[in-house]
Chains A and B, each alone.
Chain A
C-alpha cells in the first residue's frame, strides 16, 4: 500500500505493568489514505491514544507492523512527517505565542525570515493574528489550544495527529473550534488523525470514523462517512448525520461489555 499515509497490519502493543501485562492494542488493521480526516472514538482504555502515539513513535508496538508515509514510525518522526497536538496546549510559558509557534522551526533550523513568514501564515490560519506578543497564560484555553495547533502546522507536515485537543474546553468553544478545524483542513489538504470521545464531534469532522473498544484495545467498526466535505454546523440535525451517529453509538455499545 504505497499510497497510504498510515498502514497498520495486525498491530499489537502490550504494556508490562506491576499488575501484569495490559493489552492496549490487539490485531489492529487500518489504512489511512492521503487527505482523509479520521476520528478514533471509544471509551477510555480502548487504545485510541496509544494508537496515535504509535504512529508518532512515542510508543513502540510489540506485534505486527505499521508504516507512516511508507517508512517506520521512527524514520517518519525523524523526517518530521507529522505535527502532534496534545490534550493540553503544552505551550511554554516563558515564550510568547509567536516564539512558541517558532519552537519547531528553531529546532529544525529554519532561517529567521522564513520563520517570520510561517508564523504569520499559521497564526492567520488559526485566527490568532494580533496575539503574537502575548504569553500563553494571558490567553483563554481555546486560544491556547489554537496556538498549539498553529505550532503543529508551522513546519508544514502533511499529517496532523490530534489527541483529544478540545477535550478540556466547553461545548460552545468546542463547536467553534470544530468549525474552524474543518475550514483549516479544507485549506491545507492535510491528513488528520483525531482522537475524541464525543460522538457528534467525530461524526461532524470525519471522513472516516474508527470505533474502538477496550480490554483488549481493538477496532470494532470503521465507518466511511457519507456526509459532504462542506459541513455547516446545521448538518448535525440532518437525518444522514443522525444515522451515522447512531451507527457509531451501536458500535460503541457492541464493543463494550456492561457486565462489570
Chain B
C-alpha cells in the first residue's frame, strides 16, 4: 500500500491524537490535581481520557488502513461519536478550562467526522431504501457536527452565555418551554403567516390574470405593484398596526404586502412562457381565451408560480416576525424574541430562532413537494 493513497484526514488525525496524548492535560482542573500529587479532587476525564484517546487512535488507524467503505463508515461512525460523546460529557462543569489536549482531540475528531462524511457520500448502496438512508445521513451528520463543534468550543473556551449559549442549553430551553413556543408558533405562523400568505399569493395570482386579460391593467398596475414591493417593511409594519390593530391581522397585512408582488411578477412572466407554436395550435382549434388559459398557459406557468410560492414561504415568515416588533399582544415569535433579548434570556431567543428555522424549512419543504407533484413534467424535475 503506497502512502499516496492514504486519506490525509487519517494521517492528520493520528498526528493530532498523538499531540493530545503527549500534551500535559485536558483541563486546568486536571493540571491542578496533578500538581497536587494525586491527592487532589476528582477532575474531568480522569477515567474517560485514556478511553477517548484510544477510540480516536482506533478511528484514525481505521482511516489509514482503508477497509471496505461500508465497514470503514460503520466503524468510524461508532468510534467518532462515542469519543465525541465522552469529550462533551467531560467538559460540562469545567467550562473555560480546556487546555491543548482538549483542542487537539477535538480537531482530530472533527477530521475523522469529515472523513466519515466523505466515505458516506461516495457509498452507492444497492437498495433504494438504503440509498435514501445514506442520502439523509450525510446532511444529518453535517448538522450534528456543527452542533458538536459549537458545543465543544463554547464550553471549552468558556464563551459567555450572553454571547453564544451552547446548543445543549438551547435544547433544554426548547424542551422546558414547549407550551410557550407552541403558543408563539400558533399565533405567528398559523394565524399571521398562513393567512397573509394565502391572501397575498391569491391576490397576486388573480391580479396577474386580470393584468394579462386587460392591457390597461398590465400597463398601469405592474409599475405600481413594483413600487409596493419596494415599500420598506420596517416603515409599513407600524402603519398596519394602526390600521388593523395589535393582533395577528396587522401582521397578516404585512405578509400580504410582502408576498403579493413576487406572485404577481412571476405569474405574469409565467403566462408569457408558453411557446408560439403551442399558442398557434390553440388558435387552430378556435379555442377561447379561458380554454387557452386553463389548458395551456396556466400549466405552462406552473413552474413560475411555484417559484413565487417558494420565495414567499420564507418572505412571509420574515415579514410576520419583524412586524411583531412593532406592537403585538403578549404572544408571538417576534414578540418573544424582542422581549427576551431585552431580558438577556438569549437561550429563549435562540430557541425561537431554531423553531422559526424549523417551521420555515417545513413550510418550504411542503411547497417544494407540492411542486414536484404538479410540475413533474418539467425538465428541471424529471431530470433531462
Contact = CB atoms under 8 A, between A and B. Distances in A.
Interface of A: 56-58, 77-78, 80, 82-84, 86-88, 90, 92-94, 103-104, 106-108, 135, 137, 155
A84 B287 contact: no
Contact of B286 (A78, A90, A94, A137): A78
B284 A137 contact: no
Given A77-B286, A103-B295, A106-B295, A93 B378 contact: yes
A90 B278 contact: yes
24 contacts: A56-B284, A58-B284, A77-B283, A77-B284, A78-B286, A80-B286, A82-B284, A83-B284, A84-B284, A86-B277, A86-B281, A90-B275, A90-B277, A90-B278, A92-B278, A92-B299, A93-B378, A94-B375, A94-B377, A103-B285, A107-B282, A107-B286, A137-B377, A137-B384
Interface in B258-279: 275, 277-278
A84 B281 CA distance: 7
Contacts of B376: 94
Contacts of A80: 285-286
Contact of A107 (B287, B375, B377): B287
A225 B191 CA distance: 75
Contacts of B378: 93
A92 B282 CA distance: 11
Given A90-B275, A90-B278, A93-B378, A108 B285 contact: yes
Interface string B285-321: 1110001000110010010000000000000000000
Contacts of A57: 283
Interface of B: 275, 277-278, 280-287, 291, 295-296, 299, 302, 375-379, 382, 384
Nearest to B384: A137
B69 to A, nearest CB: 35
B304 to A, nearest CB: 14
User: Does more than half of chain A's interface fall in helix, strand or loop, or is it mixed?
Assistant: loop
Contact of A94 (B277, B285, B287, B299): B299
Contacts of B375: 94
A80 B375 CA distance: 31
A135 B284 contact: no
A88 B296 CA distance: 16
Given A103-B285, A107-B291, A107-B295, 6 more contacts: A93-B377, A94-B375, A107-B282, A107-B285, A135-B377, A137-B384
Given A86-B277, A90-B277, A58 B283 contact: yes
B382 A137 contact: yes
Contact of A90 (B281, B291, B384): B281
B346 to A, nearest CB: 49
Contacts of B384: 137
A57 B283 CA distance: 9
B176 to A, nearest CB: 49
A93 B382 CA distance: 11
A145 B335 CA distance: 61
Nearest to A157: B284
Contacts of A88: 277
Contact of A104 (B278, B285, B377): B285
A107 B288 CA distance: 8
A56 B277 CA distance: 13
B199 to A, nearest CB: 28
Nearest to B288: A107
A58 to B, nearest CB: 6
Contacts of B284: 56, 58, 77, 82-84
B377 to A, nearest CB: 4
A135 B381 CA distance: 14
Residue of A83, A92, A106, A108 with most chain B CB atoms under a 10 A cut-off: A92
A107 B283 CA distance: 11
